[in-house]
A = this chain, B = another copy of it.
Amino acid sequence: MTEVIGLSAFAHSDLPTEEVERQQEVYDALTDAVRGLVDATIRSTVPEERIRSVEERVRALTEELRSEQLPGPFGIHYNDEGRSWNWGNVVVGRRNAIAPPMELLERPGGGLRAQVELGAAYEGPPGLVHGGVTMLLLDHLMGEVGSDGHRRVTMTGTLTGRYAAPTPLGPVVLEGWIAREEGRKVFVEATLGTPEAVTVEAHGVFIIPSWA
């Protein structure tokens, strides 16, 4: 069942939260395996016959998964207990092998923080995190900060990143906080970097839509 709230489609589900969390573990394991395959596809140096053979078997597995599937993207599901799950989300989705995945934690003093491990699949310049990936992660974290723990809906207005230094592949830490609010505008600031040093600073304006 799908209902439209504002611009977005949310699907109501009868699954109890406990069952959602049990299923999540099953899917986590598959997604983790696919994440490994994405990395190995980039780095493998096995002979071409084996590349071709793996390709055929990957296609067969995909067919098997597709024998029953959602007609489109995953969207956001929610149940009567107020639990929601966006397992297809490209940054935090538990069924999306593109997502590092990034897990959001409370930040002492307010806002949110996260730590992710970025490997070969997030490369831009050799050995470095793609600058656009840093913006992808910052955009997500800052949007969540702006929504103040989903207590309100916000939409990104503008987002600016200042690249102070390159970000090496490896462990990456982020934090974001609300700098101030003016009417429907929420001003969010954030940083991304290695555990030792900030490499990207960002600020964004998030809008509380008039229908919200």
Q: Give the chain B neighbours of A59 by CB distance below 8 A.
A: 33, 36
Query: By CB atoms of chain B within 10 A, which of A29, A52, A135 has the most?
Result: A135
| A73 and B9 within 8 A (CB) | no
In the assembly, how many copies of this chain are there? Answer: 2
Interface size class of A (residues with CB under 8 A): 35 or more
Q: CA of A42 to CA of B99 in the docked complex: distance in angstroms?
A: 11
CB pair B95–A98 under 8 Å, yes or no, is no
Stretch at the interface among A107-115, A136-144, A175-183: A136-144
B10, B97, B120, B160: the one contacting A74 at CB < 8 Å is: B120
A65 at the interface (CB under 8 A from B): yes
Q: Are B55 and A58 in contact (CB under 8 A)?
A: no
By the criterion CB–CB under 8 Å, are A55 and B74 in contact?
Answer: no
- Which residues of chain B have C-beta atoms less than 8 A from A210's C-beta? none
Contacts of A136 in B (CB 8 A): 130, 132-133, 135-136
CA distance A128 to B95 in the complex (A): 17
Residue of B nearest to A57 (CB): B61
- CB of A27 within 8 A of CB of B8, answer no
Which residue of B9, B68, B126 is within 8 Å of A44 (Cβ)? B68
> What 9 pairs between A and B have smallest CB-CB spacing?
A132-B139, A132-B136, A75-B126, A73-B120, A44-B65, A40-B65, A135-B135, A33-B58, A160-B160
Inter-chain pairs besides A88-B120, A159-B163, 9 sampled, C-beta below 8 Å: A38-B97, A42-B87, A43-B69, A45-B70, A57-B57, A75-B127, A89-B130, A132-B140, A157-B163
A-B contact pairs, 28 of them (CB 8 A): A8-B125, A9-B126, A10-B126, A23-B48, A26-B52, A30-B58, A34-B38, A37-B37, A37-B58, A37-B61, A37-B62, A41-B65, A41-B95, A41-B97, A42-B74, A44-B70, A45-B68, A54-B61, A73-B169, A90-B123, A91-B132, A131-B156, A135-B139, A155-B163, A156-B161, A156-B163, A157-B162, A158-B161
